[in-house]
Amino acid sequence: MKEFRSYPIAFEGSGFDYFKIQIVNTILTILTLGLYYPWAKEKSLKFLYGKSTFEETPFVFSGTGSEMFRGFIKAIAVLVVIYGLFFYLVLQGHNGWGILVIYGGLLALVPLAIHGSYRYRMAKTSWRGIRFGYTGNRGELVKLFFKGIFLTLVTFGIYGAWFTISLRNYVLGHVRVGNARFVYSGDGSDFFWINFKGYLLTLVTLGIYSFWWQKDLFEYYVNNLRLEQEDDAVFFRSTATGGDFAGLMIVNFLIMIFTLGLGYSWVVTRTMAFGANHIEANGYYSFEQLLQSQAEYSDATAEDMADLLDFGFVI
């Protein structure tokens, strides 16, 4: 008989430890005139993953600075080509073509960067020695992305909610950990109403409702996620309230202001701990059934591209 149980989630990193890592990263980044950046990222991610635990077992990030450095060079090369072509066309007087190249080029990079960065990040994430993986298809994601962009444009942005959820369903639905799979079952119209209500009430309450809006968004993200293997499943549930979010965000804001940004490390660890403390996992699954099934993948080009284009990892 399967037992319904809950799985503890925690983040145990201290802001002080993370701050020290950031200081050492900064010193080495300056000494190398910025070239240390990928190794700095490795150190930060290893810390944040290593202090995040599920069932008292930490996650492992095994990406390396040298992989991300090679990826960084390739990503820069792609951007140089796009920007170079743009400046060439504009200086030749073909402004229209130039703008087409720069917007079209950068836009086309977005789904490629999402796909590639998920592949890299998941292949480099493990838990209990079992690798994560991303099994999405690049062509399918590109199609989904451009269809979404097109429909969002012709509906003056209204389709944006459905677009976001379709990407999320696709991307998160192709995340694996060993032989278990994640499933995300979001619905565009639910997401639309959350945002519609959130936007209106935030306006009416002069911004105060934004914490409750944030709570709804977080809840929608977490509660629609589950992990499945055959008949077993683990469900995730948010326990955060709007008041919790207000506390987190206001204090984070004050830390940033009064430390002139130096307190950023504490903002990160506080936020991580907040997430861990406000997600519950319950289910029937015994993680001892997990088997290594996902392939190794070490090309970090897209991961670096996502950094360069400045969009977060999370969809």
Residues paired with residue 236 on neighbouring β-strands, in sequence order: 281
| Nearest to another protein of 24, 208 (CB atom) | 24
Question: Minimal distance in Å, beta carbon 139 to another protein?
Answer: 28
Q: How are strands ordered across the β-sheet holding 232-238? A: 5-7, 279-283, 232-238, 225-229, 180-184, 175-177, 130-134, 125-127, 57-61, 52-54, 9-11
Nearest to 109 by CA among 314, 298, 301, 297: 301
37-50 and 65-91 helices cross at what angle (nearest 10)? 130
User: What's the CA gap between 309 and 107, in Å, rounded?
Assistant: 10
CB of 9 or CB of 144, closer to another protein: 9
Provide the 3-class DSSP secondary structure of residue 300.
coil
> Which is nearer to another protein, 3 or 156 (by Cβ)?
3
Distance CA 287, CA 65 (A): 31
Residues 215 and 204: their CA atoms lie apart, in Å, by: 18
Q: Which is nearer to another protein, 131 or 176 (CB)?
A: 131
Closest distance between another protein and the C-beta of residue 164, in Å?
Answer: 22
Least separation, in Å, of the C-beta of 285 and another protein?
11
Closest approach of Cβ 236 to another protein, in Å?
19
Q: CB under 8 Å to 205, separation ≥6 — which residues? A: none
Shortest Cβ 102–another protein spacing (Å): 12
The CA distance from 160 to 99, in Å, is 24
**Smaller CB distance to another protein: residue 23 or 107?**
23
In terms of CB distance, is 126 or 238 closer to another protein? Answer: 126
Q: Taking the complex as a whole, how short is the minimal distance between the CB of residue 62 and another protein, in angstroms? A: 4
Contact set with another protein (CB under 8 A):
10, 12, 19-21, 23-31, 33-34, 37, 39-41, 43, 50-51, 53, 56-58, 60, 62, 64, 72, 83, 91, 126-131, 178, 287-292, 296, 307-310
